């Protein structure tokens, strides 16, 4: 019985130390998703009031929602303690690739 208690003590100690981070991350996720829903709803209504084309309004609302969700999940991962530098670098590279794709190509000669 003592062996079981001695092996569980470090696990319980780690769980108690990790619980506040997990709780804060969960609260951040819940509030963040709620705010993302509000922002996308307000954006959709604003675009509707301005009589923006329906397909463009849907695209912009969806793009804004997914961008905010990705940023939220990176923030939550950082709150938990996961290193997020590589995620940010990949997102930057993807943004650069998307931004350079429609640029006019010049050829030498």
**What angle, rounded to 10 degrees, do the helices at 2-49 and 54-80 form?**
160
Cα distances (angstroms) measured from residue 83 to each of 60, 64, 74, 78, 80: 30, 24, 9, 6, 9
Topology annotation, domain 2-98: Helix Hairpins (1.10.287)
Contact 77, 84 (CB under 8 A): yes
pLDDT higher for 18 or 56? 56
Extract the tokens encoding 85: 């530098």
Q: CA 64, CA 45: separation in Å to the nearest integer?
A: 14
> pLDDT at position 107, please?
54
pLDDT higher for 20 or 5? 20
Q: CA 1, CA 8: separation in Å to the nearest integer?
A: 11
Cα distances (angstroms) measured from residue 36 to each of 33, 40, 63, 64: 5, 6, 12, 9
The share of the chain scoring above pLDDT 90, in percent, equals 51
Question: What pTM was estimated for this model as a whole?
Answer: 0.76
> pLDDT at position 6, please?
75
pLDDT in tens, 14-54: 778 888 899 999 999 999 999 999 999 999 999 999 999 99
Instruction: Note the maximum CA span of the chain.
Output: 82
């Amino acid at each position: 019985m003592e062996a079981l208690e001695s092996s569980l003590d470090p696990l319980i100690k780690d769980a108690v130390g990790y619980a506040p981070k997990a709780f804060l991350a969960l609260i951040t996720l819940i509030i963040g998703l709620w705010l993302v829903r509000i922002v996308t709803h307000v954006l959709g209504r604003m675009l509707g009031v301005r009589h923006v084309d329906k397909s463009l309004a849907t695209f912009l609302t969806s793009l804004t929602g997914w961008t905010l969700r990705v940023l939220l999940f990176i923030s939550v991962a950082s709150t938990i303690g996961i290193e997020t530098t590589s995620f940010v670098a990949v997102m930057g590279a993807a943004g650069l690739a998307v931004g350079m794709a429609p640029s006019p190509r010049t050829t030498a000669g």
